[in-house]
Amino acid sequence: MLRLIPSTLMLLAMGLAVIAPSAGCGGKKKAMTVSQLIEKAKKLPTPEARAAEFAKIASMRADSKDKKGAEETLGLALADVPEDGQPLVCVPLLIEIAETYIGIGQKGSARKAIELASKMAGTLEEPKGKATMLSQIGVIQGSSESGLSDARGAKRSLDAAAKLASEEVPERFRGEALAVVAMGYADAGLANDAKAMIGTLEELADGLSDLRPKAEAYAAAAAVRAAGGEKEAAEALLSKASEAAKAINDFPSNRVYALVAVAKALVANGDKAGAKKLIADAEKTASKVPDPEQQKAALKLVRVLQSKLGA
């Protein structure tokens, strides 16, 4: 699924600073302590910048199994997200904060972050971006494995996203938008609720020229077909999805996300062996992502699925 986490360039363009290691003697990089990172983050000029850095530090502490430290830093991050901030920046931040809270077992705090994210996403006027955000929120609300197990909240968010994708997104972008929403339903454990859009999604996928959304569209349709017991139909779609994903050679991150989407759909259709092969490809490709933060996100996506598959 398309993720809206701001890239380093996007953060810089909006005046948000990015923390880097300090240089020691001879120009060698000297790692900063967690306390130093936090103090430096507190001095950043805007609340969005502070929230972004606190979220990054919290993720680092969570990865190091420092749950208490991660929780403290997430509290700083959440407190600094302005309720009247720009949704394109703040909603992805809130989603990142919620995911880290869930990772350390703090679902109550994660729910607060998601409630604010949902409220802010509702203020966005551009329908494709809004549908994508609501889909991402719906996944976190609905997933029983990595979310809040809130099926009712997930359905509400995803139904709103589906309506936007079907009725308000311009036709040339509709296939991409529907793919994101359908994958959202599948990832939230609500694939059967996406049945109404599958015919349209399959038709639009055939006309997509960009390979990542094409692969994700076919994969989303396949996941929904699989959930409905339509194994052969799902297999035909997965063949098209896999072909599109493997043909991606522009940006490594695009290939990784497409391969993971197809692998998830393969799992849904009972083909774990096929999924493992694609995940091995995705892992190899993720190591080639040039941006460190994007590489970390790509590898994390791969590791989650590997863990589920026992790969």
Flag whether 2 is in a domain.
no
311 pLDDT above the threshold of 70: no
Tokens 């995940």 — which residue?
279
Residue 13: exposure state from Cβ atoms within 10 A (0-12, 13-18, ≥19): exposed
Number of Cβ within 10 Å of residue 10's Cβ equals 14
- The DSSP line for 205-228 is HHH--SHHHHHHHHHHHHHHHHHT
Flag whether 295 is in a domain.
yes
Distance CA 63, CA 254 (A): 24
Strand-strand pairing, 29-30 and 22-23: antiparallel
The domain total for the chain is 1
Flag whether 149 is in a domain.
no
pLDDT of residue 84: 92
What is the average per-residue pLDDT within 143-152? 91
Distance CA 211, CA 245 (A): 7
What is the average per-residue pLDDT within 165-181? 90
Flag whether 66 is in a domain.
no
258 pLDDT above the threshold of 70: yes
Stated as kind and residue range, the H or E segment containing 29 is strand 29-30
Flag whether 170 is in a domain.
no
281 pLDDT above the threshold of 90: yes
Percent of the chain whose pLDDT exceeds 90: 73
The domain of 255 spans 210-311
Mean of all residue pLDDT scores within the chain: 89
Flag whether 296 is in a domain.
yes
Flag whether 139 is in a domain.
no
With H, G, I as helix, E, B as strand and everything else as coil, classify residue 2: coil
pLDDT of residue 189: 87
Flag whether 288 is in a domain.
yes
Q: Band the pLDDT of 2: cuts 50, 70, 90.
A: very low
Least confident range from 12-26, 46-60, 70-84, 233-247: namely 12-26
6 pLDDT above the threshold of 90: no
